[in-house]
Structure 1
């Protein structure tokens, strides 16, 4: 009897143990809450800075077209003859220069005046640029200008009387615009008065930097005329 009870108890224990293992295996383990964080994307790099605008500084060699640069673009001379005419074919030459740039004294020149200049008359003529770069206005404003008139008589006894010389100047910028105050400037040398002949052939008219007439001298030789 004890053997039967022992076997019965052993069977019950084995069945209970097996059932417990089945239950443990059938129950899934508890799930853990898993949180996945998504990191934001990195912002794109900033665009490269825009290149600086082209420089207009004079040191770079570029020219600002908005800055006017004025030069002498036209020069005309009016000579009033007194009571002794300039005969044909005696010649007259005229040159204009800035006193601050004596090397350019031939920039504006007239060398072909062989016509008669009658008694008590006015003769107007232009000065040619000779294909060179026009002289800047600032060159004249620095020290003034010199207008030289020379006379070559056809006969040694001929003489020519001058009573007045006027100079008409025109200053424009690189775009062809006249200077606001000196666009067209007329200078009258009322002191340009006297005789030119075979000995005293040259008359020189000088202004200051404001284009006010100063002197009008008659000279013998060309050497001192452009000094």
Structure 2
């Protein structure tokens, strides 16, 4: 009987330790670190921006231990699928095409406009050479528009292509382009009409991580319900930003 009781106690302790370990499991948040104000590296070399604050708050509400990992945009989905991190929180729009490869939480940012920027208002955004970051919904839109698409690994390189004459315009998230245009001293201007693409921005996960998706979904919903998500949106994107 004593042996049975001792064995039961050991089993109970082992189960408790396993449960505690599961709650302490680290969730790795993958981001680009090069797309302000969504995400960027600050002067200390740390991930910063709107998505840093959202991700940290989501993890706190979900009682998860999280760490940030940076990865180049053009391989950010393959490296999620291969297990180099557990989520993507990197300004990634929810699209049907991406949803065939990975899963998404509900959006933590409503659909926001994309915009064209050029060095001249005379640019024909439907017929000239237009730069965009590779594998983005903006690149896909340019390819379908009739313009000549010039793809770059980073959004900064796409903007630089307009400055050096490689492209007549760049197409990207308007929130990313606004501070660049404002700081250009009139060198760069918005042209054409804004375009709404995608279904908002969500956290990407592997298809097999349904339980984690539900946990993150609940945390995002709680931030929508108490207004804290809208506060962060207005803080990072300004008073005219789309909110929930």
Q: Does TM, normalized by the shorter one, top 0.5?
A: no
TM-score (norm 2): 0.26
Which of the two has greater helix per residue? 2
Larger Rg, first or second structure (1 or 2)? 1
Which of the two has greater strand per residue? 1
TM-score (norm 1): 0.27
